[in-house]
């Protein structure tokens, strides 16, 4: 699933490419991807344009220029957004072992055609992602479901400690809970816990003061670093400047199962924790 750094990169790329371009046509081949009445959805978008694109957690928020509406896009597990203009192709979202450069393809369920003939494709292998148009009140209600933004000024140590207060779930489940902290998924939860030397199975109420401080520090540091390197990719995805996301090279535990730990030389273990495949070192993490 694309996480905060990947969605942040997509947001930045789209802001540099499609703002204020008139939407000439919206083509929908899988109506269930759209969570509105389809006629309403297309009528609002046709001849409209995006005035700004923001992010909240893993949710992409596109402000529409005409009318007080917003297009929300959530990529969920396997969603992708692919921008194409002539020979230029910029892809972001879920990584695949094989990435087709032919669009639309069998996984393309919706695409926008803009006035300059560029196109934006929404692909989704497992079809869990969605697009929906909301008004300001609906957007406000939606955003209430999201927890603290880990890269915002509100993500202070004091506020982080308050999230932990009286909780007894394991720390991996805590990090994945979007109602508490918005944007962290499986990749970065594993990396943060490894850097903090905390076992993912640890109960929140067993964390010591220094461990809480270390966890808070590493959440911010690792996410910032991942954004700097334009996210984690496993194939030929590129950004708006034609650069691949390179945080893959910085990963220390995710996808490293059965490899030696970079700290102690022991073996990285993979177990299912909090419903997700979780990588950790049982020697370094306590």
Catalytic one of 85, 220, 252, 276: 276
pLDDT digits (tens, 9 = 90+) for 112-139: 999 999 999 999 999 999 999 999 999 9
Of 101 and 12, more confident: 12
Does the annotation mark 56 as catalytic? no
pTM for this predicted structure? 0.91
Looking at every residue in the chain, the average pLDDT score rounds to 92
Of 7-21, 54-68, 229-243, the poorest mean pLDDT is in 229-243
CATH-assigned architecture of domain 157-280: Orthogonal Bundle (1.10)
**Residue % of the chain over a pLDDT of 90:** 81
pLDDT bucket at 234, cuts 50 / 70 / 90: very low
Query: 11, 58, 230, 256: which is the annotated catalytic residue?
Result: 58
Looking at domain 4-143, its CATH architecture is Alpha-Beta Barrel (3.20)
Question: Over the stretch 178-200, which tens digit does the pLDDT of each residue have?
Answer: 999 999 999 999 999 999 999 99
149 is catalytic: no
When pLDDT is averaged across residues 254-273 and rounded to a whole number, the result is: 96
- Summarised one tens digit per residue, pLDDT across range 204-222 is 999 999 999 999 999 999 9
- Examine the pLDDT at 88 and tell me if it is beyond 50: yes
| 3 noted as active-site residue | yes
Q: Where are the domains of the chain?
A: 4-143, 157-280
**DSSP letters of the chain?**
---HHHHHHHHHHHHHHTBT--EEEEEES-GGGB-S-HHHHHHHHTT--EEEEEEETTEEEEEESSSSEEEEEE-TTTEEEEEEETTEEEEEES--SS----SS-TTEEEEEEETTS-EEEEEESS---EEEEEEHHHHHHHHTT--B-TTSTT--HHHHHHHHTT--SBHHHHHH-TTTBSS--HHHHHHHHHHHT--TT-BGGG--HHHHHHHHHHHHHHHHHHHHTT---SSS-B-TTSPBP-GGGG-SSTT-TTSBPTTT--B-EEEEETTEEEEE-TTT--
The verdict on whether 276 is a catalytic residue reads yes
């Amino acid at each position: 699933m694309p996480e905060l750094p990947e969605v942040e990169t997509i947001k930045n790329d789209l802001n540099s490419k499609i703002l204020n371009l008139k939407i000439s046509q919206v083509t929908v081949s899988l109506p269930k991807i759209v969570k509105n009445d389809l006629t309403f959805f297309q009528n609002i978008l046709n001849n409209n344009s995006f005035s700004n694109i923001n992010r909240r957690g893993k949710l992409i928020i596109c402000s529409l220029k005409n009318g007080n509406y917003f297009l929300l896009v959530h990529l969920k597990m396997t969603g992708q957004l692919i921008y194409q203009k002539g020979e230029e192709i910029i892809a972001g979202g879920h990584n695949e072992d094989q990435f087709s450069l032919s669009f639309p393809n069998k996984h393309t369920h919706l695409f926008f055609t803009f006035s300059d003939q560029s196109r934006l494709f929404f692909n989704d292998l497992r079809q869990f992602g969605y697009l929906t148009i909301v008004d300001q009140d609906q957007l406000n209600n939606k955003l209430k479901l999201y927890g603290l933004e880990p890269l915002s000024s509100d993500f202070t140590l004091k506020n982080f400690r308050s999230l932990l207060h009286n909780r007894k779930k394991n720390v991996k489940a805590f990090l994945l809970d979007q109602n508490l902290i918005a944007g962290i998924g499986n990749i970065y939860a594993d990396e943060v816990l490894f850097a903090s030397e905390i076992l993912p199975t640890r109960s929140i109420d067993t964390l010591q003061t220094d461990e809480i401080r270390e966890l808070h520090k590493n959440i911010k540091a690792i996410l910032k670093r991942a954004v700097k390197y334009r996210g984690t990719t496993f194939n030929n995805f590129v950004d708006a400047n034609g650069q691949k996301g390179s945080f893959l090279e910085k990963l220390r535990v995710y996808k490293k199962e059965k490899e030696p730990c970079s700290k102690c030389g022991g073996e990285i273990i993979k177990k299912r924790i909090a419903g997700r495949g979780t990588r950790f070192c049982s020697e370094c993490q306590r």
